[in-house]
Structure 1
Amino acid sequence: MQKKAKMVIDKDFKISEIDKRIYGSFIEHLGRAVYGGIYQPDHMSADENGFRKDVLELVKELDVPIIRYPGGNFVSNFFWEDSVGPVAERPKRLELAWRSLETNEIGLNEFSKWTKAVGAEVMMAVNLGTRGISDACNLLEYCNHTGGTKYSDLRIKHGVKTPHKIKTWCLGNEMDGPWQIGHKTQEEYGRLALETGKAMKLIDPDIELVSCGSSNTAMPTFPEWEASTLDHTYEVADFVSLHQYYGNRFNDTSNFLAQSVDMEHFIKTVTATCDYIKAKKRSKKTMNLSFDEWNVWFHSNSDDENIMKNDPWQKAPALLEDMYNFEDALLVGLMLIVLMKHSDRVKMACLAQLVNVIAPIMTEENGPAWKQTIYYPYLHASKYGRGIALEPVISSPKHDTIDFTDVADIESIAVYNEEKDEVTIFAVNRNLKEDIELTCDVRSFGDFKIIEHIVLEHEDMKIVNSAKGEAVTPKCVNRSELVDGIITSALGKASWNVIRLGKNK
């Protein structure tokens, strides 16, 4: 007997308006993300600024709203002054986080120009590892102040008359991690972030600040880190950050695909901690979440350690270049669904990263740019996941894995775009052996029709895309029908599904 699942979505079951910034990404001065990634002046596709146009077009297709920069671990020993001014006069530096050589050929002003070209905003991080309050204030003045002061006039001297007006700023990066240059205790970071944030908002009261949360759920200080640091930063910060990566190190696909359950637990725990501090402080302010690093990451770890240990101080070595397979795309889809389900509190998120480094887009040095498997669920979510997230009422078969119990076979969310009068249902069938029939009650939307049913699926869970060809690509299928307000859909085993509905005209 075929397994069945049921779902009800109603236009009144509103979770939240989705902030488009949950489809953000991240570019760090790490590996080939910048040099050989977005920037390669000797490439056949390079524009007048040295940026690869093939990469630029793939990023534009994703419609990435915000991009975190310049790190990451890199930022904790970043001297921003070295990255501006005449390129020929910029010093080379030993980059300590990834033991590479940073030439500073691409810096703040060049990156800002690139983000404008792809239609994105910058989420800027300040160095609270080896530096502190004054340097963060100087950088903000350089970026956002109109003119007539030391650092704003320096920007103008560098050929950038109009301020960058960067709105969103990260107060350091992963400061709970002992791997971080300038690692801080909870008390040390909380005090420094508070005083830095206070000073920065005196310069520009309109900016948004992100306080560092835990680097992952396995940190021994989680969630005490959030409670302790937010005790300091709650009133000055606008967001607290979350970082989490998952991997299938033990080759257990069923358990791997259940890890989005852990991601949801992470969000709920941080939300509860924020609300505890709100109650403790008798505050009227609600702290929102910035999940500004998330992805699958485990394929490249051993190679990275060898390069950094035995062959350091290279310019743009090939680091963190995970080759993503089909099952990775399924988990990325599941993680995107989790972000949408919690859009009432998660207002920003960054798929880490964007090009070459644990990325949906890869490049060949003397060849093309191409799409990894994870590119497609990210594309679909960014393209069709704009609007109001609707609380799905789901009844699904369940299964257990080594680490998780009662894992739903069907994970789903619906998004209502009022402007276009369209509904998109995102659904993953993580049952590896059986197709499942999903019936969905959409009667509250009236006379709708199915626009299309997009599927990403493959028999081989380990299949990858490459520069030579893409084995994993989405396709439109005829597997959904809508009769009297009830959709009946066949969700193939181990599949990512995007079911789009629109007004029947």
Structure 2
Amino acid sequence: MATILVDSRRQIDAIDPNIYGNFIEHLRRCIYGGIYEEGSPLSDERGFRRDVLAAIKSLKVPNIRWPGGNFVSAYHWMDGIGPKDERPRKMELAWNTVESNRFGTDEFIQFCREVGTEPYICVNMGNGTMDEAQHWVEYCNGVEDTYYANLRRKNGHDEPYRVKYWALGNEVSGHWKIGHKPAEEYAALAYEYAKVMKLVDKNIELAACGSFEQNASDMKWNQVVVEKLADIADYLAIHMYVGDWYGSYYEYMAASEHIEKFIRSARGIIDVGVYYSEEGKKLKIAFDEWNVMYSHDSENPRHERYTLQDALAVGMFLNAFVRHADAIKLANMAQLVNVIAPIHTNTEELFLQTIFWPLQLHTLENGTIALNAHWESDCFETEQHGKVPYLDASTSYQPDLGRISVNLINRHRTDALPVTIENQHGNLKNNGLLFEITGADPIVMNDFGEENVKLVKRELEVPSNPFTVTLPPHSISMVQIYLG
């Protein structure tokens, strides 16, 4: 048994739609053979896969991060503009392959415009230069009669792209990264990058490179970056991946505690950073890489398939973003197509992975204001996190519709969970909606021609206040109720 108390007056903050963003990198079949497949009968005249475009549009992705990821630390954007057949093929050092450069800045912007999303570009702070970053902003956003703005015009794009979101490098703290730097060196250099980039366009927003590991060293990295960049950056970018590392369903389902701890740590560092800002400025969080890894080993012939329990973990990330809506204003699932992705293709078709459905549900159906709800449930025991509630939850409010959306995850492996929902302010209408994502077993997967996990929507009777809904085992649900 579980209970959750909701109240439209207990508002956390507006939910920024950008928390539902995504990410594409030049990695295996994410771009080439994923969204971009020249010569395929499934592609349009530009090389974009029509079926992939349609799937992405159904997600209503608000922003897409590009070109990396690890890839960006050796990427030189000038290689990817101009006539495609004249672009250089180069060794790609991050993933040990060859980069054709046939998909570059102009193709990325064209792709973003086609799917209705904002571009979010990460600059090369590995083996790149400050001039290179400055010139990239000018190429994309320049309006004057200048060399790089004119180069964009020469390439057939008269109007500026007005790219708003930019990241100052990717995971530079990693010692194996191309151009790895200690925190102090990175922060000093990032400050100079930020200066010239904002001199080109004062309206851009910048994400400083934060931690991608959850340990003391990376927390120290975050402290240095926040202290040095609080007045010039707009976001602290953090990364996190979870998975079934212990081969235990319930240890995996306790990943929410790990996610929560990481977010609270970043928030604490940002709060202290206010004292280092001359303007008292507080950075926002850009959780611009997050996802779950496949919950079975790479020897499995269906390795690149997500399970239902992976979808539950994605739901836990999304619930955390809503609960921390006052701090997290940008987030990007990694990645969009084929590589740890919600959309998976072959040369003939695609299918939607289990993790597609919670992302689409939150993006399309959550309200615009996060609410501070209180919930209780029975718990399961874990070695890593002690007692963890079976119920994970978040709530949101849509004022113009008088609608409260209650996001619920039942993490019990075998048992249904009755949840009593009590609205504590105002009357409820006697009808609502229920969305469910579930399946026969936590490790069930989708595949080509096999849709074992999908989103189901149905009418919901609300006979009283409070009322009870019963959640299937290992399931994600959203209950929508209306004030009236």
CA distance in 2, matches of 1:105, 1:141: 21
Cα distance between partner residues in 2 of 1:26 and 1:449:
40
Match of 1:132 among 129, 132, 149: 129
Preserved contact between residue 367 and residue 404 of structure 2 (Cα < 8 Å): no
Residue 343 of structure 2: which of 361, 365, 370 is its match?
361
Match for residue 146 of structure 1? 143
Instruction: Tell me, yes or no, if structure 1 residue 178 matches structure 2 residue 175.
Output: yes
SS of residue in 1 equivalent to 2:31: coil
Counterpart check, 1:289 vs 2:285: yes
| Distance in 2, Cα, partners of 1:102 & 1:148 | 32
Q: How does 1:208-223 map to 2 (within 5 A)?
A: 208-218=205-215, 220-223=216-219
Give the CA deviation at 1:303: 7.2
Match of 2:376 in 1: 395
Residue in 2 aligned with 1:343?
325
Matches within 5 A, 1:303-452: 322-365=304-347, 367-452=348-433
Structural mapping, 1:184-195, within 5 Å = 184-195=181-192
Uncovered stretches (5+) of structure 2, i.e. residues with no partner: none
Q: Does the CA contact (< 8 Å) of 1:299 and 1:322 recur in 2?
A: no
Partner Cα separation in structure 2 for residue 157 and residue 303 of structure 1: 49
The change in CA–CA distance for 1:424 and 1:450 in structure 2 (over 3 A counts) is farther
Deviations 1:372-415 (A, max 9, x none): 00000000000012410101111221222121112111111111
Compute the displacement of 1:280 (Å): 4.0
Which range moved further: 46-55 or 452-461? 452-461
Instruction: Select between 37-46 and 106-115 the one with higher mean Cα deviation.
Output: 37-46
CA distance in 2, matches of 1:300, 1:130: 35
Q: Compute the displacement of 1:455 (Å).
A: 1.3
Q: What SS is found at the alignment partner of 2:206?
A: strand
Equivalent position SS for 1:54: helix
Aligned residue number for residue 259 of structure 2: 263
SS of 2:400's partner is: coil
User: Could you tell me how far apart the structure 1 residues matched to 2:424 and 2:462 are?
Assistant: 10
Q: Secondary structure at the match of 2:48?
A: coil
Once residues 372 and 384 of structure 1 are traced to their aligned partners in structure 2, the CA distance between those partners, rounded to angstroms, is: 19
Matched, 1:453 2:434: yes
Q: Distance in 1 between matches of 2:419 and 2:295?
A: 33
Task: Work out whether residues 449 and 503 of structure 1, in 8 Å CA contact, stay in contact via their aligned partners in 2.
Answer: no
For 2:37, the equivalent position in structure 1 comes to 40
Partner of 1:406, secondary structure, is: strand
- TM-score under structure 1 length normalisation: 0.92
- Assess if the C-alpha contact under 8 Å between 1:66 and 1:120 holds in 2: yes
Matched residue type, 2:470:
A
Secondary structure of the residue aligned to 1:176 is: coil
Structure 1 residues 386, 135: CA separation in 2 closer, same or farther (over 3 Å shift)?
A: farther
Asked if 1 retains the 8 angstrom alpha-carbon contact of 2:81 and 2:104, the reply is yes
Map of 1:498 onto structure 2: 478
Instruction: Decide whether the 8 Å contact of 1:5 with 1:438 is kept in 2.
Output: yes
Which letter does structure 1 place at the counterpart of 2:81? Answer: V
Residue 234 of structure 1 pairs with residue 240 of structure 2: no
Give yes or no for contact 2:234–2:283 (8 Å, CA) kept in 1: yes
1:112 lines up with 2:109 in the alignment: yes
Please say if residues 8 and 404 of structure 2, whose CA atoms lie closer than 8 Å, have aligned partners that are also in contact.
no
Displacement of 1:48 in angstroms is 1.8
Counterpart residue type for residue 361 of structure 1? I
User: Cα 1:477–1:22, aligned 2, differ >3 Å: closer, same or farther?
Assistant: same
Q: Distance in 2 between matches of 1:303 and 1:436?
A: 35
Counterpart residue type for residue 167 of structure 2? C
Q: What amino acid sits opposite 2:342 in the alignment?
A: P
Letter aligned with residue 419 of structure 1: D
Q: Tell me which residue corresponds to 2:452.
A: 471
Alignment correspondent of 1:246: 242
**1: distance between equivalents of 2:360 and 2:426?**
25
For the 8 Å contact 1:147–1:156, the answer to whether it is kept is no
Q: Among 9, 14, 17, which residue is 1:12 paired with? A: 9
**Is the Cα–Cα contact under 8 Å of residues 481 and 488 in structure 1 kept in the other structure?**
no
Question: By how many angstroms is 1:146 displaced?
Answer: 1.2
Q: Would you say 1:276 and 2:272 are equivalent positions?
A: yes
Aligned residue number for residue 314 of structure 1 = none
Distance 2:321 2:420 in 1: 23
SS in 1 for 2:128: coil
1:344 alignment partner AA: D
**Cα distance between partner residues in 1 of 2:296 and 2:175:** 21
State the aligned residue count.
484
- Residues 177 and 183 of structure 1 are in contact (CA less than 8 Å); yes or no, is this contact kept in structure 2? yes
C-alpha distance in 2 between matches for 1:381 and 1:293: 17
